[in-house]
């Protein structure tokens, strides 16, 4: 169970909670002949799902999501939300989260504190080529490009909506950052002096193999929040708000 992607775990949890809530409803009816209202059943299902999510040690934001999932559907049904709204919401999610199901790397953004820590690792005067693997909305590269005029900055992103937004932002800002819509696995990391990644634990083993095979000796591999199992970093920068936000750097 723990090895399943979190999305599949969640599907199993929702189904189990539905079964358990139905069973509980059935068992309560025998001695008490009590017929709960639909919203009561839905709340019990949510509470069971949240408890299962907690027991399976899913990330902290999942139990509240599980609790609210079925109640939200019930509310939407009662509010008679038109079908196209669901379709639009689904398409929006697809455009933003694209291949997260396969890569197990969703979109979430790093903050200024992290960008400042990355900046502290970059050469002050030498020229260099920097790439953000999975560049999201482009924040890292925009910030660094302003501060390192001698650097060349690139971002690569598979999800269409974040990529488009970063291209548009680059246009409005007249930024010199180049954004590509490519899977980083298809790139040659030997083209870069600094490779930055803020991905997920699931992505790190393959990415580390790629970095080791391709990156030139002396270049820098930087990962925000996610270490490489069994490989101590050469530098570790703690970003004040906990271990989730640590910057790890390896000199290749």
Ligand X SMILES: C[S@@+](CC[C@H](N)C(=O)[O-])C[C@H]1O[C@@H](n2cnc3c(N)ncnc32)[C@H](O)[C@@H]1O
The answer to whether residue 222 forms part of the interface with ligand X (CB under 6 A) is no
Pairwise CA distance, residues 245 & 185, whole Å? 24
For ligand X, give the closer residue by CB, 17 or 114.
114
Q: Which region, judged by CB under 6 A, interacts with ligand X, from 29-37, 156-164, 214-222, 243-251?
A: 156-164
Q: How big, in percent rounded to 5, are the helix, strand and coil portions of the chain? A: 55, 15, 30
The sign of the torsion formed by the CA atoms of 240, 242, 245, 248 equals positive
Contact pick of 144, 159, 204, 249 for ligand X (by CB under 6 A): 159
Contact pick of 26, 61, 108, 172 for ligand X (by CB under 6 A): 108
Nearest alpha-carbon partner for 197 in 118, 113, 251: 118
Residue 163, H or E segment: helix 160-173
Contact pick of 18, 47, 94, 107 for ligand X (by CB under 6 A): 107
For ligand X, give the closer residue by CB, 40 or 99.
99
The answer to whether residue 140 forms part of the interface with ligand X (CB under 6 A) is yes
Pairwise CA distance, residues 248 & 233, whole Å? 6
Contact pick of 134, 144, 166, 195 for ligand X (by CB under 6 A): 134
Q: Which residues pair with 248 in a beta bridge?
A: 223, 236
Nearest residue to ligand X, using CB?
Answer: 134
Contact pick of 45, 58, 158, 210 for ligand X (by CB under 6 A): 158
The answer to whether residue 139 forms part of the interface with ligand X (CB under 6 A) is yes
CB of 178 to ligand X, least distance (A): 14
Residue 200, CA atoms < 13 Å, CB-side half-sphere = 14
The sign of the torsion formed by the CA atoms of 80, 86, 92, 98 equals positive
Nearest alpha-carbon partner for 18 in 54, 57, 44, 56: 44
The answer to whether residue 156 forms part of the interface with ligand X (CB under 6 A) is yes
Pairwise CA distance, residues 110 & 115, whole Å? 8
Binding footprint of ligand X, residue count (CB under 6 A): 23
The answer to whether residue 184 forms part of the interface with ligand X (CB under 6 A) is yes
Q: Which region, judged by CB under 6 A, interacts with ligand X, from 6-14, 35-43, 100-108, 144-152?
A: 100-108
The answer to whether residue 177 forms part of the interface with ligand X (CB under 6 A) is no
Task: Give the binding site for ligand X (CB under 6 A).
Answer: 98, 103, 105, 107-110, 132, 134-136, 139-140, 156-159, 162, 183-185, 198-199
């Amino acid at each position: 169970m723990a090895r399943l992607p979190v999305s599949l775990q969640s599907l199993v949890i929702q189904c189990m909670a539905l079964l358990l809530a139905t069973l509980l409803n059935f068992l309560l009816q025998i001695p008490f002949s009590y017929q709960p209202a639909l919203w009561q059943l839905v709340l019990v299902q949510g509470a069971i799902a949240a408890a299962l999510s907690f027991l399976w040690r899913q990330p902290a934001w999942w139990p509240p999501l599980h609790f609210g999932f079925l109640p939200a559907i019930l509310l939407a049904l009662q509010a008679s939300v038109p079908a196209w709204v669901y379709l639009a919401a689904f398409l929006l999610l697809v455009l933003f989260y694209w291949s997260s199901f396969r890569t197990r790397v969703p979109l979430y953004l790093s903050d200024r504190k992290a960008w400042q820590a990355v900046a502290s690792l970059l050469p002050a005067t030498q020229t260099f080529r920097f790439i953000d693997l999975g560049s999201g909305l482009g924040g890292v590269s925009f910030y660094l490009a302003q501060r390192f005029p001698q650097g060349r900055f690139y971002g690569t992103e598979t999800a269409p909506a974040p990529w488009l937004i970063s291209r548009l932002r680059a246009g409005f800002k007249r930024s010199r950052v180049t954004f590509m819509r490519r899977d980083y696995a298809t790139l040659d990391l030997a083209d870069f002096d600094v490779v930055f990644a803020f991905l997920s634990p699931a992505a790190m083993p393959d990415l580390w193999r790629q970095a080791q095979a391709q990156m030139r000796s002396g270049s820098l591999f930087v990962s925000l929040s996610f270490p490489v199992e069994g490989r101590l970093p050469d530098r570790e920068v703690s970003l004040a708000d906990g271990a989730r936000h640590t910057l790890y750097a390896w000199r290749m």
